[in-house]
Amino acid sequence: MKKTFKCEVDCANCAAKMEDAVKKIEGVVSARVNFMTQKFTLEAADDIFEKVFDDAVKACKKVEPDCEIG
Amino acid sequence: MTKKQKKVRNRIFIVLCMFAVLMVLEKTGILSPLPWFLQLAIFLVPYIIIGYDVIRKAVINISHGQVFDENFLMMIATFGAFGIGEYSEALAVMLFYQVGELFQSVAVAKSRQSISDLMSIAPEYANLIAEDGSISEVDPEEVSVGDLLLIRAGEKIPVDGTVTEGESFVDTAALTGESVPRRVQKNDAVISGCVNGEGILKIRVDKAYEDSTVARILELVENASNKKSRMENFITRFARYYTPVVTIGAVLLAVLPPLFGQIPFSDSIRRACIFLIVSCPCALVISVPLGFFGGIGASSRKGVLVKGSNFLEAAALIDTVVFDKTGTITRGEFRVSEIIPASGSGISEKELLTMAAAGEAFSNHPIARSIIQCYTEKNAAAPDTAPIDNSRTREVPGKGLSTYYNGKELLLGNSRLIDVPASIGLIDESAGTVIYVSYDGTYMGAIVIADQIKTGVKEAIASLYAIGVKRAVMLTGDNEDIARHVADKVGINDVKAGLLPADKVSAVEKMLDRGDNGNRLAFVGDGINDAPVLMRADVGIAMGSLGSDAAIEAADIVIMDDDLNKISSVIKIARKTVRIVKENIVFALAVKLIILILGALGLTTMWLAVFGDVGVAVIAILNSMRALEDK
């Protein structure tokens, strides 16, 4: 399943770092933090999507505490 | 400005005033009699007002083990300045850093806004007609297939549908860049995103909003920036190493020279702080995707959808353009192209056509229909069949047809049916299919039927050569003669004729397989049966794709209308975008390098370094916005 979320992030480099961090999470098939469109796209298997998404949000918050996803 | 930005702006304003007062006090020597801790305390107040969020993030991030975080590095740099007693400099650095960040975020928001303005094709509402005839305004996503909608003059068509009542001109400019409105009437299909120019239309919904053209286009453009260009990949990879390397450089610079007794610690720490200030790669990282975003926006405005930054990047390198013939260069429909009365027969073009159309009136052959259509268009009436004695009409297989017109024999067919006098001679078959006409035993002339070349193709191909495309090739399943004839007319030298659909893929592969010289090959087709070739080429360009899902799916670049001239436009936009992005990269790297060198040699101040660093980012953003402009 591939889903896109709104994602508020202030700096381009933070977006790149968030993307890197999310890609390292287990179960992530693909991830993209798009600074230009302020969107976060996550692809993961259907059955574990919720969990992977939660992990991804945590990972993003770790990189950029002020980012908002959802 | 958002709330967040306004808050930062107000803080900057307050601290700027405090900074000015403090500078005056410092320069006039009023502060100097105070003990150092009081001075520090006085400077810390505005420092904390302007920098508390940076420090907060720095603390949170360092607890997460993010050593190379910009906030953290900025905090260390300013703390270092406080440590060596440069209070005003520490405050200035934090202040200018925030000014720069605010500038950046406003500039990015602005460019984001102007790009989404371009894409203002999304309908806000739909007027749903209920069964009892009452009209209610609903969200376009709420209408379902089969519903009836009312579209007033000036309103956007919210979903794809078919007109059931009314007629009007619809403006497709937002989708295709085409400024001439299209006329629609009952039973015509209309496409979402177009604007109803005049009159009231009632349409029946054919597709739900999410399947409609407008939703698909918006999704495509949004996703386009998800596909990263090679330059963007390079820069993000570069950024990953840049910050650590510069930070380590700062540490070495702070420690080593004093150890060898070259300069005092206070000086080396100041120089190290300058390194930390320029360690943020944001100017670089932001300018690449922003430039491509602008380029994609500029193309969309022309009615060209580019499905990814990577494809725009590839389009800048196109040196070979391969065209499919039918449907791309030609219309793919057969029409009368020439009417040639025999010299000396005394017959006019009009009479020849009238006779031929009457003779073919009862035939269903495609060629017959082309002739009838031509007659109908010219005379605004169906051919008059009264002079034809249809009981005596017979088909001559493989040759043509014979019938009686005003009681005399009329023959219509190829040269095997009709004796063309040697003095006149046969017509060149490469021009198309030739129908000879003989009446009462006398040769009357000929009608040529050919696939029509689209208007503007010759200019489009000339413009490709003009911008430096080296090779234009035409692929076709037709025979060599016809292909050559068309190619000559539009100015293409290179023709590959007699190809089966599968041969087209291998022909393109052969052209691709000539060693990677850095250039790219584009294939232009109508997307109907050349999807495999579109996918195989470096850049697949589909033409006239408004409303055609298959073409949009297979192609990398989609030209919404039929205008081949847009190929050179999009190549120009691509080149400009790539040039802007390269300028940004070189400029940002050069300025950072200069600051690093000056900083290492102790030739610049900290706040000049901040100014240089955020200044570069802002200039790069403004430069990127040029990608959005025309030409």
Q: How confident is the model at residue B213 (pLDDT cuts 50, 70, 90)?
A: confident
Q: Which of B112, B239, B280 has its CB closest to that of A36? A: B112
- Contact between chains at A13 and B226 (C-beta distance less than 8 A): no
Helix, strand, coil percentages for chain A (3-state, nearest 5): 45, 30, 25
To test the contact with chain A by mutation, choose from B63, B116, B226, B614 the residue with the greatest count of A C-beta atoms within 10 A, namely: B226
Report the pLDDT value the prediction gives residue B343, as an integer from 0 to 100: 80
Of B324, B478, B526, B562, which residue is the catalytic one? B324
Identify the H or E element spanning A2: strand A2-8
Mean pLDDT comparison of B16-20, B25-29, B182-186, highest-scoring range: B16-20
User: What confidence tens digit (pLDDT) does each residue in B7-23 have?
Assistant: 999 999 999 999 999 98
Residue of B nearest to A16 (CA): B236
> Chain A interface residues facing chain B, Cβ-Cβ under 8 Å?
10-13, 16, 20, 32, 34-39, 41, 62-66
Q: How confident is the model at residue B418 (pLDDT cuts 50, 70, 90)?
A: confident
Structural contact between residues B522 and B511, judged by C-beta atoms closer than 8 angstroms: no
Report the pLDDT value the prediction gives residue A47, as an integer from 0 to 100: 92
Q: How confident is the model at residue B547 (pLDDT cuts 50, 70, 90)?
A: low
d(CA B610, CA B498): 65
* Residues paired with B202 in a beta bridge: B150, B165
Report the pLDDT value the prediction gives residue B50, as an integer from 0 to 100: 92
**DSSP states of B504-527 as a string?**
HHHHHHHHH-S---S-EEEEEE-S
Segment B318-343 shows an average pLDDT of 87
The separation between CA B58 and the C-alpha centre of its own chain, rounded to angstroms, equals 40
- Contact between chains at A11 and B64 (C-beta distance less than 8 A): no
Structural contact between residues B177 and B301, judged by C-beta atoms closer than 8 angstroms: yes
CB atoms within 10 A of CB A25: 18
Is B53 an active-site residue? no
Q: At a CB cut-off of 8 Å and minimum separation 6, what does A38 contact? A: A6, A7, A8, A9, B112
Inform me whether the pLDDT recorded for B384 exceeds 90.
Answer: no
Residue of B nearest to A9 (CA): B105
CB atoms within 10 A of CB A70: 9
To test the contact with chain B by mutation, choose from A8, A36, A40 the residue with the greatest count of B C-beta atoms within 10 A, namely: A36
Q: How confident is the model at residue B518 (pLDDT cuts 50, 70, 90)?
A: confident
d(CA B417, CA B434): 12
Segment A4-19 shows an average pLDDT of 86
Inform me whether the pLDDT recorded for A48 exceeds 90.
Answer: yes
H helix count then E strand count, chain A: 2, 4
Report the pLDDT value the prediction gives residue B460, as an integer from 0 to 100: 94
Give the 3-state secondary structure of residue B603. Answer: coil
- Contact between chains at B57 and A37 (C-beta distance less than 8 A): no
Q: What is the dihedral of CA A24, A27, A30, A32, to 10 degrees?
A: -60
Residue of A nearest to B287 (CA): A12
- Contact between chains at A13 and B289 (C-beta distance less than 8 A): no
* Residues paired with A7 in a beta bridge: A69
Structural contact between residues B246 and B278, judged by C-beta atoms closer than 8 angstroms: yes
Q: Residue B131: what are its φ and ψ, rounded to 5°? A: -60, -35
Q: How confident is the model at residue B65 (pLDDT cuts 50, 70, 90)?
A: confident
Beta-strand relationship, B520-525 and B388-396: unpaired
Q: Which of B197, B123, B135 lies closest to B160, judged by CA?
A: B123
d(CA B502, CA B490): 25
Q: Chain B contacts of A64, Cβ < 8 Å?
A: 57
Give the 3-state secondary structure of residue B277. Answer: helix
pTM of the model: 0.82
CB atoms within 10 A of CB A62: 18
User: What confidence tens digit (pLDDT) does each residue in B214-270 have?
Assistant: 888 777 777 787 888 999 999 988 988 988 999 999 999 988 888 887 788 888 888
- Contact between chains at A12 and B282 (C-beta distance less than 8 A): yes
Structural contact between residues B524 and B328, judged by C-beta atoms closer than 8 angstroms: yes
Q: What percent of chain A is predicted at pLDDT more than 70?
A: 100
Q: Is B32 exposed, middle or buried (0-12, 13-18, 19+ CB in 10 A)?
A: exposed
d(CA B481, CA B477): 12
Report the pLDDT value the prediction gives residue B249, as an integer from 0 to 100: 92
- Contact between chains at A41 and B112 (C-beta distance less than 8 A): no
Structural contact between residues B371 and B447, judged by C-beta atoms closer than 8 angstroms: yes
Q: What percent of chain B is predicted at pLDDT more than 70?
A: 97
d(CA B100, CA B429): 71
Q: Which of A36, A64, A66 has its CB closest to that of B289? A: A36
CB atoms within 10 A of CB B191: 24
Q: How confident is the model at residue B500 (pLDDT cuts 50, 70, 90)?
A: confident
Q: How confident is the model at residue B515 (pLDDT cuts 50, 70, 90)?
A: low
Residue of B nearest to A42 (CA): B226
The separation between CA B594 and the C-alpha centre of its own chain, rounded to angstroms, equals 36
Q: How far is CA B184 from CA B169, B213, B333, B522, in A?
A: 6, 17, 22, 34
Structural contact between residues B58 and B42, judged by C-beta atoms closer than 8 angstroms: no
- Contact between chains at A12 and B293 (C-beta distance less than 8 A): no
d(CA B75, CA B63): 14
> Considering chain B, what is the average pLDDT of its residues?
86
Q: Residue B524: what are its φ and ψ, rounded to 5°? A: -115, 120
Q: Chain A contacts of B222, Cβ < 8 Å?
A: 37, 39
Token code pair at residue B29: 């020597």
Q: Chain B contacts of A12, Cβ < 8 Å?
A: 282, 285-286, 289
d(CA B604, CA B275): 11
Inform me whether the pLDDT recorded for B323 exceeds 90.
Answer: yes
CB atoms within 10 A of CB A51: 13
Inform me whether the pLDDT recorded for B120 exceeds 70.
Answer: no
**Could you tell me which residue, B89 or B262, shows the higher pLDDT?**
B89
d(CA B46, CA B92): 10
d(CA B17, CA B590): 33
Q: How confident is the model at residue B462 (pLDDT cuts 50, 70, 90)?
A: very high
Token code pair at residue B90: 């520490």
Token code pair at residue B390: 């249809």
User: What confidence tens digit (pLDDT) does each residue in B36-64 have?
Assistant: 888 899 999 999 999 998 899 889 888 88
Q: How confident is the model at residue B131 (pLDDT cuts 50, 70, 90)?
A: confident
> Considering chain A, what is the average pLDDT of its residues?
89
Q: How confident is the model at residue B576 (pLDDT cuts 50, 70, 90)?
A: very high
Q: Chain A contacts of B293, Cβ < 8 Å?
A: 36
- Contact between chains at A37 and B290 (C-beta distance less than 8 A): no
Query: Predicted ipTM?
Result: 0.84
**DSSP states of B193-241 as a string?**
T-EE-SS-EEEEE-S-GGGSHHHHHHHHHHHHTTS--HHHHHHHHHHHH
- Contact between chains at A65 and B57 (C-beta distance less than 8 A): yes
Q: How confident is the model at residue B467 (pLDDT cuts 50, 70, 90)?
A: very high
Residue of A nearest to B291 (CA): A36
Q: At a CB cut-off of 8 Å and minimum separation 6, what does B331 contact? A: B451, B452, B453, B454
User: What confidence tens digit (pLDDT) does each residue in B146-182 have?
Assistant: 999 999 988 889 899 999 988 888 888 777 777 778 8
Report the pLDDT value the prediction gives residue B119, as an integer from 0 to 100: 63
Beta-strand relationship, B494-496 and B471-475: parallel
Q: What percent of chain B is predicted at pLDDT more than 90?
A: 23
Segment A23-30 shows an average pLDDT of 92
Token pair 């953290």 is found at B72
Inform me whether the pLDDT recorded for B473 exceeds 90.
Answer: yes
d(CA B519, CA B50): 50
**Amino acid identity, residue B583?**
E
CA angle B168, B144, B119 (to 5 degrees): 60
Q: Which of B114, B176, B156, B460 lies closest to B301, judged by CA?
A: B176
Q: How far is CA B470 from CA B318, B459, B463, B551, in A?
A: 9, 16, 12, 26
Mean pLDDT comparison of A56-60, A61-65, B263-267, B365-369, highest-scoring range: A56-60
Report the pLDDT value the prediction gives residue B316, as an integer from 0 to 100: 95
Residue of B nearest to A66 (CA): B57
Distance from CA of A10 to the nearest CA of B (A): 7
d(CA B433, CA B430): 8
Q: At a CB cut-off of 8 Å and minimum separation 6, what does B336 contact? A: B353, B370, B371, B373, B374, B447, B448, B449
Domains of chain B: 3-116+224-293+575-628 (no CATH), 126-155+161-206 (2.70.150.10), 304-329+454-560 (3.40.50.1000), 331-453 (3.40.1110.10)
Report the pLDDT value the prediction gives residue B302, as an integer from 0 to 100: 84
Inform me whether the pLDDT recorded for B631 exceeds 60.
Answer: no
